[in-house]
Structure 1
Amino acid sequence: MNLENYSLIAQGAESRLYLGSYLGKDVIIKHRFSKKYRHPDLDSRLIKEHSKAEVRCLIRCQNAGINTPTIYYADDSFVVLEYLKTASRCRDVVDKYLKANDSEGLGKLAKSMGFVIGNLHKNNIIHGDLTTSNILVDTNGEIYLIDFGLGQVEGNAEDKGVDVYVLERALLSTHPQYTEDLFNIFLESYRSQLGKQAKDVIKKYEEIRLRGRKRSMEG
């Protein structure tokens, strides 16, 4: 794809994000770029695999009724996605509710997050980087999941436990004094949505959490 008319808005370790127009629609273009230190054949294979995995996760989400950006185009290294203009990062929405002292809004948000992530895991989709920057909330309170660059399908209880742990760590890093209350509401909703699987996933999450604490103490 020719990116001449698109604006670079972000860059990560594996990809760059561009904003622009595609077929008359405002879009985000995700471009996975080559790494010069990797062997060309390996580099090409990894880019293809990661792009395919992300698209697979997005399609699986849409089939399960989980909000994600619409895919307009995809190839081995590019994915063209719907630009969610009215959505904000979850971490910013939490900030807004805290400043307004809106405990009801915070509770509803945590409950909605539990429902969505529970549905994600019920459909055996693993996000892989479930931070509050990769969860968006639109003006109607609808939750969207973005950036499945590390995602996979057919995940096990350990993978799901890691997703839950990463989300807790993300909340702790930005809103430590409110994490326990928010996370308890999240977990209650998550358990309700996930059903019988929840017991094994929560057990794995608690094991992962314990390992993380031990590393911190040793560290």
Structure 2
Amino acid sequence: MIDNAELIKQGAEAKVYLTPYLQRKAIIKERFPKTYRHPTLDKKLTSRRVIQEARCLNRCQKAQIDTPTVYLVDVDRSLIYMEHIEGCSVREFLVTAEGQVPERQTALAGEIGRALGLMHNIDVVHGDLTTSNLLMREESGSVVLIDFGLSYVSQLIEDKAVDLYVLERAFISTHPNTEVMFAQIIEAYGKSCKASKQILKKLEDVRLRGRKRSMLG
């Protein structure tokens, strides 16, 4: 337990806390030990993931991609202190009446596609793109990419195509009848990502492999 912090989420890899920090609200992300791994190896791998996540967040910020600002990285305790985003997730937005309006979906799709294109331009692969990991700022409505716990840096076209495929599967499984919106995301992505032609071509291959796996069970 972290002093003066409220646990708000627990996943397979980390716990997320809300806490006051420097007279503002902040999020603390704490990676916890994996008991099935040797303690020394676990500490080394966990430290590496903490550093990688913080670096990817900073890399995005430098490229003017909206992500939570990192305040402090405590590698010894496997903690990242970062900005708390006031707003709702894209997932929450899409299930509301406002989120069903085609014009709002189109505008949102444009922002998402542009952000992902810029992210891939700097070779950051998110690794866990879902509508829960896309937030909309309360004041401006701008899209914020969050939860870079599985992120890494890669120049590989396939890695970026898989990133898009993961998001597409999230849309299909969570948000029925949003095929048009995802197509709009891809359109905006194509305009902002320098290597979009190669990545989108590879996305077709990834989709085909996914369909084959589904058929084989």
TM-score (norm 1): 0.94
Name segments (4+ residues, structure 1) moved above 6 Å.
none
- 1:170-185 equivalent positions in 2, closer than 5 A: 170-178=170-178, 180-185=179-184
Residue number in structure 2 paired with 1:206: 204
Specify whether residues 8 and 164 from structure 1 end up closer, same or farther in structure 2 by C-alpha distance, changes over 3 A only: same
Residue number in structure 2 paired with 1:162: 162
Q: CA deviation at 1:100?
A: 6.3
1:78 corresponds to 2:79? yes
Q: CA deviation at 1:155?
A: 3.4
Residue number in structure 1 paired with 2:2: 3
Specify whether residues 4 and 100 from structure 1 end up closer, same or farther in structure 2 by C-alpha distance, changes over 3 A only: closer
| Distance in structure 1 (CA, Å) of the matches to 2:146 and 2:119 | 12
User: SS of 2:197's equivalent?
Assistant: helix
- Write the deviation string for residues 121-173 of structure 1: whole angstroms up to 9, x where unpaired: 11111101011111101132201011101101233111100110011011111
TM-score (norm 2): 0.94
Residue number in structure 1 paired with 2:16: 17
Q: CA deviation at 1:37?
A: 1.4
User: SS of 1:133's equivalent?
Assistant: helix
Which consecutive unaligned segments of at least 5 residues does structure 2 have?
Answer: none
Whether the 8 Å CA contact 2:113–2:189 is kept in 1: the answer is yes
Calculate the aligned-residue CA RMSD, in Å: 1.3
| Distance in structure 2 (CA, Å) of the matches to 1:17 and 1:100 | 27
- 1:114-125 equivalent positions in 2, closer than 5 A: 114-125=113-124
| Distance in structure 2 (CA, Å) of the matches to 1:111 and 1:64 | 18
- 1:15-54 equivalent positions in 2, closer than 5 A: 15-54=14-53
Residue number in structure 1 paired with 2:131: 132
Q: CA deviation at 1:22?
A: 1.4
- Write the deviation string for residues 53-88 of structure 1: whole angstroms up to 9, x where unpaired: 100100000000001111111021100011112x21
Instruction: Give the AA of the match of 1:80.
Output: Y
Instruction: Give the AA of the match of 2:67.
Output: T
User: SS of 2:19's equivalent?
Assistant: strand
1:190 corresponds to 2:167? no
Which consecutive unaligned segments of at least 5 residues does structure 1 have?
Answer: none
Instruction: Give the AA of the match of 1:146.
Output: I
Residue number in structure 2 paired with 1:218: 216
| Distance in structure 2 (CA, Å) of the matches to 1:25 and 1:68 | 17
Q: Percent identity?
A: 45
Number of aligned residue pairs: 214
| Distance in structure 2 (CA, Å) of the matches to 1:154 and 1:100 | 33
